[in-house]
């Protein structure tokens, strides 16, 4: 009991200097060419453009601080009480215990989070996880700065995990969104519903990969996108990872 | 040596008798009884796990950990390798034909990428790839039965496959034939791979992966065992004179094939493509495809340092594909003498002519008829390969000289074309060409002769070109006036 009281003080005091913002940013709708089509939607190559409607998206990934506030209220999502079917044993493993974390980590993106937990967090705020199309559309940023982004992404993807930076660390993209790449992987609502196969060279069906490249991918030289989609396809809802966090989205209406 | 070969031949006969060449003969491996269980010994290159002495199939547990690590690619050059077991190439796995393998792929939690494994020794879709896709911090397991003996490559097959392989995700698995391999004194594990860094070869510091160079198949490094110089000096492979050596050699690629050669050795035995049922003898260079392997065996006879190379030599001497085998022991003059003398070499007659070193006089044409005759020789040796003996050229590639409007319209331009070379868009008799003709470093006389020959044949304008004209209108390569 005493412990909890002390923690809540830390939480609220630290709120004053919070780095990552919990702002939602309005994203104007538009269309983009997804790297892979969604399962069962098309077997066409090239992949046709997908329409994305206007929506709201967190400016920054959700931080440990915001997640701490959440589990403070929603006890069933604490590390010691979460049901195993909702998160594997890595859940919040970088925290000291249910409600404490190193102060310097407070404003870093929260990681070691399962899809179920991320979903619950967003729901508690009447929000949701972004769809993969929405997430990728925002990353694509209407084609702004594509070449440099691809190289930056590739560079980050190819080095093993290091200390995480504070959330909100990177310059905003054209939509005003920060940290989409360069710090963590992020959950999406429909992370597993794209046609990236677990064996990327699957050649049996026409609507799967072919040979070493891919019949289906919209740009077979875009290694960075290959990595994101294969990362997502390696996940299940209860998985957690030291570099896997999330941000929330919301319908505009 | 004799016994060594005899043993092998015996091995061959044995396998031949058991009829392995039949399709589907592995079927009896499916039914072979599994007795007991053991955990596979895995080794880092160049070490190889000990031969299997078991006379029965067993259940073998393989635990392979994927780690993304920063390491040395060349002196002063670091690279982030993705590895099966912490090093490139991945751990050597040795099992016996008929074994039941329980394979655990563990993806270290500090890794950023999902990974999987495709073992070429596995029969089943994807070679295990789909069954083993594993997120960081997770572990997956699948099981397979080793039906076909041989030396096989394994590699990661997660998208983008070429990048996972380019970062070092490959290794070898030996499915040892039931009767085993003949005994040798040393077994070593060597695997070639090509690396694509953003910085040029030798550029210092941590070098990121270059997607562009990978797609263009233009590696900055081609190395054995994951780094330039990984098997030289103190780390060279070792043997004593008179010992037998077996190399398990793989090529991880992702792109280049290897012309594997040991300078100063002849392979007594090669099991091409890692196929343990076929042995060829007395091989100089063996071809190892990307995603393939070979077993080579030889006996050392003469002490010294032997260089292992990819005999595509700029890879060896400019990109790193070079390793050493040091053979110790007493000299063996009978087999290899070393240098005995070093004398001045004077080819017959050279002593006399040294003083008045005149240029060898070329035959010079006195008449147009002679010019045409001499020109024909120049044409047939230098030009016919492209423009054909008929002068008709090859549609879309090499323009015709026969009735060529380009040629006949302008003699000076023709001289410039041949002396200076020609490239870019060109229209001849209404057809467009976009090729390259190199500049010809032929003498004035030769060019005069060949052009006169061309002009005098195939319905052309019958003009004569003289050496003097060629001298006056000759251009330096790349500067012909035809643009
Ligand atoms: Cu991999």
CATH number, domain of A129, equals 3.90.1580.10
Q: Which among B196, B195, B200 is positioned nearest to B211, based on CA atoms?
A: B196
Token representation of residue B1:
């040596």
d(CA B168, CA B42): 17
Q: pLDDT at residue B325 above 70?
A: yes
Q: Which residue of B has its CA nearest to A236?
A: B135
Is B352 annotated as a binding-site member? Answer: no
Cross-chain Cβ contact B129/A234 below 8 Å: no
- Measured distance CA(B312)–CA(B332) in Å, rounded: 30
Task: Mark which residues 58-97 of A lie under 8 Å from B by CB.
Answer: 88, 90
Contact of A195 with A37, CB cutoff 8 Å: yes
Rounded to whole angstroms, the Cα distance separating B332 from A67 reads 75
Largest CA distance in chain B: 93
The verdict on A184 touching B (C-beta cutoff 8 Å) is no
Question: A182: which 2 tokens?
Answer: 């360069």
Query: Residue B106 forms beta bridges with which residues?
Result: B65, B139
B108 annotated as a binding-site residue: no
Q: What residues in A contact B114, CB-CB < 8 Å? A: 230-231, 233-235
Does the beta-carbon distance from B134 to A226 stay under 8 Å?
no
Contact B303, B332 (CB under 8 A): yes
Does pLDDT of B356 surpass 70? Answer: no
Whether the CB-CB separation of B190 and B46 falls below 8 Å is answered with: yes
Q: Which of B69, B126, B135 is closest, CB to CB, to A234?
A: B135
pLDDT per residue as tens digits for the range B385-429 = 778 888 988 777 788 999 999 999 999 999 999 988 887 788 999
Taking an 8 Å cut-off on Cβ atoms, the answer to whether A161 and B134 are in contact is: no
Residues B245-269 have pLDDT tens digits of: 999 999 999 999 999 999 989 999 9
pLDDT band at A216 (very low <50, low <70, confident <90, very high): low
Q: Which among B146, B118, B63, B81 has a CA at the least distance from the CA of A197?
A: B118
For residue B354, the model assigns a pLDDT of 35
Q: So what's the pLDDT on residue B372?
A: 93
Write out the two tokens for B412. 């000076």
- Give every strand in the sheet of A24-27, ordered side by side: A24-27, A55-58, A249-251
Cross-chain Cβ contact A159/B70 below 8 Å = yes
Q: What span, in angstroms and rounded, lies between the C-alpha atoms of A237 and A196? A: 17
- The Cα–Cα gap between A189 and A232 comes to 11
| Nearest CB to B137 within list A90, A154, A231 | A90
Per-residue confidence band for B142, with pLDDT thresholds at 50, 70 and 90: very high
Of B476, B449, B480, the residue nearest B465 (C-alpha): B449
Asked if B412 has any chain A CB less than 8 Å from its own CB, the reply is no
Is this complex's ipTM strictly greater than 0.95? Answer: no
% pLDDT > 70, chain B? 88
Domain that holds residue A134: 2-251
Tell me the mean pLDDT in the region B208-226.
93
Residue A205 in tokens: 């069906």
Residue B10: pLDDT over 70: no
Q: What is the mean pLDDT of residues A148-169?
A: 77
Helix (H, G, I), strand (E, B) or coil at B257: coil
Q: What is the pLDDT of residues B263-317, one digit of tens each?
A: 989 999 999 999 999 899 999 999 999 999 999 999 999 898 898 999 998 888 8
3-state secondary structure of B316: helix
**Total domains present in chain A:** 1
Average pLDDT taken over every residue of chain B: 86
Q: How many CA atoms lie within 13 A of A109 on its CB side?
A: 33
Q: Is B383 flagged in the annotation as binding?
A: no
CA of A231 to the centre of ligand 1 (A): 11
Residue B483 has pLDDT above 80, yes or no: no
A87, A234, A237, A243: best mutation site toward chain B, by most B Cβ within 10 Å?
A: A234
Question: Distance between CA B251 and CA B194 in Å, rounded?
Answer: 9
Average pLDDT over residues B30-44: 92
**For residue B105, how far is its CA from the centre of ligand 1 (angstroms)?**
11
Separation CA B50–CA B183 (nearest Å): 11
Task: Give the Cα separation of B431 and A139 in Å (integer).
Answer: 48
Which of A93, A94, A245, A90 lies closest to A167, judged by CA? A245
Taking chain A, what is the end-to-end CA distance rounded to the nearest angstrom? 41
What tokens appear for B277 in the block?
Answer: 């049922």
CATH numbers and ranges of domains, chain B: 28-179 (2.60.40.420), 187-328 (2.60.40.420), 368-473 (1.10.760.10)
Give B482's pLDDT tier (boundaries 50, 70, 90).
very low
pLDDT tens per residue across span A86-98: 999 999 999 999 9
Answer yes or no: do B129 and A242 touch at CB < 8 A: no
Tell me: pLDDT of B430 over 50. yes
What are B325's two structure tokens?
């085998």
B115 annotated as ligand-binding? yes
Which residue, among B120, B123, B173, B126, has the nearest Cα to B147 in the 3D structure? B123
pLDDT of B78 higher than 90: yes
A239 touches chain B (CB under 8 A): yes
pLDDT-derived band at B332, boundaries 50, 70, 90: confident
- Measured between alpha carbons, how far is B357 from B348 in angstroms, rounded to an integer? 15
Q: What angle do CA A166, A103, A163 make, to 5 degrees?
A: 40
3-state helix/strand/coil string of chain A: CHHHHHHHHHHHHHHCCCCCCCCEEEECCEEECCCCCECCCCCCCCCCCEEECCEEEECCCCEHHHHHHHHHHCHHHCCCCCCCCCCCCCCCCCCCECCECCHHHCCCECCCCCHHHHHHHHHHCCCECCCHHHHHHHHHHHHCCHHHHHHHHHHHHHCCCCCCCCCCCCCCCCCCCCCCCCCCEECCCCCCCECCCCCCCCCCCCCCCCCCCCCCCCCCCCHHHHHHHHHHHCCCCCCCCCCEECCCEEECC
- Check residue B336 and give its pLDDT: 72
Judge residue B232's burial from the number of C-beta atoms within 10 Å of its C-beta, 0-12 exposed, 13-18 middle, 19 or more buried: middle
A-chain residues near B80 (CB < 8 A): 158-160
Q: Is B156 annotated as a binding residue?
A: yes
Ligand 1: distance of its center to the CA of B68 in Å? 9
- pLDDT score recorded for residue B344: 55
Q: For residue B318, what pLDDT is reported?
A: 85
B124 touches chain A (CB under 8 A): no
Lookup: tokens for B271: 């099991």
DSSP state of B378: H
Dist CA B374 CA B382 (whole Å): 13
* B21 vs B378, higher pLDDT: B378
Contact B155, B291 (CB under 8 A): yes
pLDDT of B371 higher than 70: yes
Contact B114 A230 (CB under 8 A): yes
End-to-end Cα, chain B, rounded Å: 67
Which of B:17-76 have CB within 8 Å of A? 67-70
Burial of A199 (0-12, 13-18, 19+ CB in 10 A): buried
């Amino acid at each position: 009991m005493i412990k909890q009281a002390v923690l809540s003080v830390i939480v609220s005091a630290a709120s004053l200097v919070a780095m990552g913002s919990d702002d939602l940013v309005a994203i104007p709708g538009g269309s983009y060419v997804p790297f892979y089509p969604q399962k069962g939607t098309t077997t066409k190559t090239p992949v046709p453009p997908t329409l994305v409607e206007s929506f709201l998206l967190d400016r920054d990934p959700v931080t440990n601080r915001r997640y701490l506030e959440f589990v403070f209220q929603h006890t069933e999502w604490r590390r010691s009480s979460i049901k195993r079917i909702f998160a594997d044993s890595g859940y919040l493993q970088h925290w000291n215990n249910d409600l404490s974390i190193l102060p310097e980590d407070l404003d870093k993106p929260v990681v070691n989070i399962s899809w179920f937990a991320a979903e619950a967090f967003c729901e508690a705020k009447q929000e949701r996880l972004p769809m993969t199309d929405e997430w990728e559309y925002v990353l694509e940023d209407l084609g702004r700065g594509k070449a440099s982004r691809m190289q930056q992404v590739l560079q980050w993807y190819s080095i093993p995990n290091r200390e995480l930076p504070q959330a909100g660390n990177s310059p905003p993209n054209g939509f005003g969104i920060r940290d989409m790449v360069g710090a963590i992987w992020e959950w999406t609502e429909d992370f597993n519903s794209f046609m990236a196969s677990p064996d990327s060279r699957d050649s049996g069906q026409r609507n799967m990969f072919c040979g070493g490249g891919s019949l289906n991918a919209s740009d077979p030289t875009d290694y960075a996108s290959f990595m994101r989609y294969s990362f997502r396809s390696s996940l299940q809802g209860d998985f957690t990872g030291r570099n896997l966090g999330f941000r929330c989205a919301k319908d505009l209406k | 040596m004799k016994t060594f070969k005899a043993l092998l031949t015996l091995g061959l006969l044995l396998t031949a008798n058991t009829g392995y060449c039949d399709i589907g003969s592995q079927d009896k491996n499916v039914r072979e009884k599994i007795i007991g269980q053991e955990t596979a010994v895995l080794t880092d290159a160049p070490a190889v796990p000990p031969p299997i002495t078991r006379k029965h199939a067993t259940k073998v547990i393989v635990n392979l950990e994927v780690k993304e690590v920063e390491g040395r690619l060349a002196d002063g050059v670091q690279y982030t390798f993705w590895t099966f077991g912490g090093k490139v190439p991945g751990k050597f796995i040795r099992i016996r034909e008929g074994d039941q393998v329980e394979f655990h792929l563990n993806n270290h939690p500090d890794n950023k990428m999902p990974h999987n494994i495709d073992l070429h020794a596995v029969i089943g879709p994807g070679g295990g790839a789909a069954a083993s896709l594993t997120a960081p911090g997770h572990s997956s397991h699948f099981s397979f039965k080793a039906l076909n003996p041989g030396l096989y490559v394994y590699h990661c097959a997660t998208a983008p496959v070429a990048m996972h392989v380019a970062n070092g995700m490959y290794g070898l698995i030996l499915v040892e034939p039931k009767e085993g391999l003949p005994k040798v004194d040393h077994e070593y594990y060597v695997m070639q791979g090509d690396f694509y860094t953003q910085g040029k070869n030798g550029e210092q510091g941590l070098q990121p992966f270059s997607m562009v160079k990978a797609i263009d198949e233009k590696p900055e490094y081609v190395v054995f065992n994951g780094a330039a110089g990984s098997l030289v000096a103190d780390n060279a492979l070792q043997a004593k004179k008179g010992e037998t050596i077996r190399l398990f050699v793989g090529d991880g690629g992702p792109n280049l094939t290897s012309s594997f050669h040991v300078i100063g050795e002849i392979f007594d035995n090669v099991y091409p493509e890692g196929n343990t049922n076929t042995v060829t003898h007395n091989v100089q260079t063996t071809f190892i495809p990307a995603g393939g392997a070979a077993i080579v065996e030889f006996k050392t006879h003469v002490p010294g340092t032997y260089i292992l190379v990819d005999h595509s030599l700029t890879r060896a001497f400019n990109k790193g594909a070079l390793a050493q085998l040091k053979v110790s022991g007493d000299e063996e003059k009978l087999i290899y003498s070393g240098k005995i003398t070093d004398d001045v070499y004077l080819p017959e007659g050279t002593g006399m002519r040294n003083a008045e070193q005149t240029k060898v006089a070329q035959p010079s044409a006195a008449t147009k008829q002679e010019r045409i005759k001499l020109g024909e020789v120049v044409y047939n040796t230098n030009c016919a390969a492209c423009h054909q003996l008929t002068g008709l050229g090859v549609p879309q590639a090499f323009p015709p000289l026969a009735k060529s409007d380009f040629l006949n319209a302008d003699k000076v331009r023709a001289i410039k074309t041949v002396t200076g070379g020609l490239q870019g868009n060109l229209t001849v008799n209404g057809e467009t060409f976009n090729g390259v003709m190199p500049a010809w470093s032929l003498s004035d006389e030769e060019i005069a002769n060949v052009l006169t020959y061309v002009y005098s044949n195939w319905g052309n304008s019958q003009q004569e070109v003289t050496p003097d004209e060629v001298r006056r209108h000759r251009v330096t390569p790349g500067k012909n006036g035809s643009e």
